[in-house]
């Protein structure tokens, strides 16, 4: 699956979730489907170039990750996400060969280093895991999707049972490039008093783990 879209993120305080949900509801947004937990395993280059690009504000950035939902280990997705400022292109493939949690990380490594046709070299490494709860919203005219991420935590790749918690709540709007002007007008009319901010769960997790000497 290939998808091009614009993403706008807003970093909120830990206890602003209910307030934002009320704001979305008042402005015509409805729940798209039930909330679910999202888990991701992030990769980087051996020199952590993806993290460094984000720190240095490089406009064109990449992320590589495995993702699954609600502990469903039978449906693991491999994602490559390329971002140019706020415009995102995401390629997603479903891994059908992983059927259980047994030897989970090793199975992912086997897929990435042995089965994946694009990344045949060994200039990448598995770095960390993130986990959070996401709720899904959609505007009345179906042109804007919104997500709210809470309970964000991260774990080092060599100890997935060790969790460190991030304090932020993340509101994100997603829409096609064709609907960018509609999104801007919507924000101006509704006067939501929100300011978009660059935010990366991978980078925030990386920094938190590095400060605790847990990045290997």
Examine residue 106 and state whether it is found in any structural domain, yes or no: yes
pLDDT score recorded for residue 205: 98
How much is the pLDDT for 183?
Answer: 86
Among positive and negative, which fits the CA dihedral 61, 65, 70, 74? positive
Half-sphere exposure for 203 (CA within 13 Å, toward CB):
15
DSSP result, 25-64: HHTT-EE-S--EEEEEEEEEETT-HHHHHHHTT-SEEEEE
Closest CA to 89 of 210, 177, 20, 199: 177
For residue 74, being part of any structural domain is answered with yes
The count of domains in the chain is 1
* CB-CB neighbours of 109 under 10 Å: 15
* 73 is a domain residue: yes
- What span, in angstroms and rounded, lies between the C-alpha atoms of 197 and 83? 15
Domain assignment of residue 216, yes or no: no
Nearest to 11 by CA among 167, 216, 133, 190: 167
Give residue 163's pLDDT. Answer: 96
- State pLDDT tens for residues 88-113: 888 998 886 665 667 888 889 888 88
- Count other C-beta atoms under 10 Å from residue 154's C-beta: 25
Q: Look at the pTM and tell me if it is higher than 0.85.
A: yes
pLDDT < 50: residue spans in the chain:
none
CATH of the domain at 59: 3.20.100.30
In a domain, 195, yes or no: yes
pLDDT, position 192? 67
How many Å separate Cα 87 from the centre of its chain?
Answer: 14
Q: Which domain does 155 fall in, by range?
A: 2-211
Residue 190, pLDDT score: 63
């Amino acid at each position: 699956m290939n998808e091009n879209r614009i993403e706008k993120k807003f970093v909120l305080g830990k206890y602003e979730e209910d307030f934002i949900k009320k704001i979305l509801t008042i402005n015509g947004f409805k729940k798209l489907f039930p909330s679910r937990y999202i888990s991701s395993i992030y990769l980087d280059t051996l020199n952590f170039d993806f993290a460094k690009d984000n720190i240095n504000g490089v406009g064109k950035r990449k992320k590589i990750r495995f993702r699954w939902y609600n502990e469903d280990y039978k449906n693991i997705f491999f994602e490559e996400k390329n971002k140019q400022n706020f415009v995102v292109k995401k390629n997603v493939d479903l891994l059908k060969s992983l059927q259980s949690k047994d030897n989970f990380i090793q199975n992912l490594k086997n897929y990435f280093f042995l089965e994946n046709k694009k990344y045949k070299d060994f200039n990448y490494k598995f770095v960390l895991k993130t986990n959070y709860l996401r709720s899904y919203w959609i505007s009345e005219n179906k042109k804007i999707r919104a997500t709210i991420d809470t309970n964000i935590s991260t774990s080092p790749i060599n100890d997935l049972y060790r969790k460190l918690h991030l304090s932020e709540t993340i509101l994100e709007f997603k829409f096609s490039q064709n609907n960018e002007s509609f999104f801007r007008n919507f924000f101006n009319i509704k006067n939501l008093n929100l300011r978009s901010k660059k935010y990366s769960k991978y980078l925030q997790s990386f920094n938190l783990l590095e400060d605790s000497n847990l990045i290997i």
